[in-house]
Amino acid sequence: MRAVTITDEILSVQDRATPLPESGCVLVAVAGAGLNGADIMQRRGLYPAPPGWPVDVPGLEFAGTIEALGPDVEGFRVGDRVMGIVGGGAQASHVTTDATTLLRVPDSLDLVVAGGFPEAFTTAFDAIVNQGFLLPGERLLVTGAAGGVGTAAIQIGRLLGADVTASVRDLSRRDELVALGANRVVNPDDVKDAGPYDVVVELVGAASLTNGVLAALNEFARVVVIGVGGGTKAEVNLLGMMAGRITLTGSTLRARSREEKAGIAAAMKQVLLPALAEGTLSVPVLARYSLDTVNEAYERFSAGSKLGKIILEV
């Protein structure tokens, strides 16, 4: 198989042995694999793969076709169109993964585009549902809303019946974000005035929290931190948290157990896949790159100012 490979922070495409699927696993011929911020960090040596995953092949998400089944796989057949998240190794022609963590790709969705669905939507779904406990009619704030997770969070919030406020630095994105489901799009400086919020998907980090978010919360608000590009050290007012009964939490998806990923996939299958099949949810795509132009893809991602996913097409 061919695999994007990191050697001393340099990306190349190398040939290596195609793995055989172990018990409960499948071998997937990858059609598309989305880029994520974690890949950029991993290339810089800042975010090593968790134990059990390839150390030098980046890629947290993929969509493709099942090429072989390991022993004891139930519910899937060779040729099935599937997508999923992995701890690494997705930016390759082939990837093996546990079948319980897979989602089926709706017939209506392009298989390459589907490679940009799993990571952002799983991250946003887990933050909003499993950590944020969003209820219909509640007010959801998504900061740093123009990225992959942000646009997924806007769509999921709208799908679940929330009133969605999207915060972005570049207000020229307004129309696109409204089209995805945002009830309003605000500049970070106006986050406080557009509040209060019940659930916050915090994709920026410390600067965002202290410059408005923490002062714009409803009682019982849940603030879920899943991005810290805007700083990691935040000063919180404990008395304010107590008075408002605020919950501040954070997580990453990558290092989670197979069982937990399977649990999230099962919930997404029920809640998100019908909407994805109908087109209520969509994967905004900024650009596709072939494996051979992986360096250009990473450069484009790092340049920022993007709305939509960058996807490697295999």
Judged by the rule CB under 8 A, the positions of this chain that interact with a copy of itself are 205-206, 209, 225-226, 228, 231-243, 245-252
Residue 89 C-beta: closest distance to a copy of itself, Å: 21
**261 Cβ neighbours under 8 A, 6+ residues apart:** 85, 98, 101, 122, 253
Write the CA distances from 88 to 47, 198, 281, integer angstroms.
11, 33, 25
Count of C-beta atoms within a 10 Å radius of residue 277: 15
Taking the C-alpha atoms of 196, 199, 203 and 204 in order, what is their torsion angle to the nearest 10 degrees?
A: 30
**Given the complex with a copy of itself, which of 100 and 131 has the nearer CB atom?**
131
- Cα–Cα distance for residue pair 208/167, rounded to 1 Å: 10
Angle of CA points 215, 149, 12, to nearest 5°: 135
Residue 219 C-beta: closest distance to a copy of itself, Å: 9
Residue 220 C-beta: closest distance to a copy of itself, Å: 9
**Given the complex with a copy of itself, which of 248 and 271 has the nearer CB atom?**
248
- Cα–Cα distance for residue pair 56/43, rounded to 1 Å: 9
- In total, the chain counts a number of residues equal to 314
- Cα–Cα distance for residue pair 285/301, rounded to 1 Å: 12
**Given the complex with a copy of itself, which of 53 and 62 has the nearer CB atom?**
53
Give the containing element (helix H, strand E) for 299. helix 294-303
**Given the complex with a copy of itself, which of 20 and 255 has the nearer CB atom?**
255
**Given the complex with a copy of itself, which of 240 and 274 has the nearer CB atom?**
240
**Given the complex with a copy of itself, which of 64 and 205 has the nearer CB atom?**
205
Residue 51 C-beta: closest distance to a copy of itself, Å: 14
Residue 41 C-beta: closest distance to a copy of itself, Å: 11
Residue 119 C-beta: closest distance to a copy of itself, Å: 15
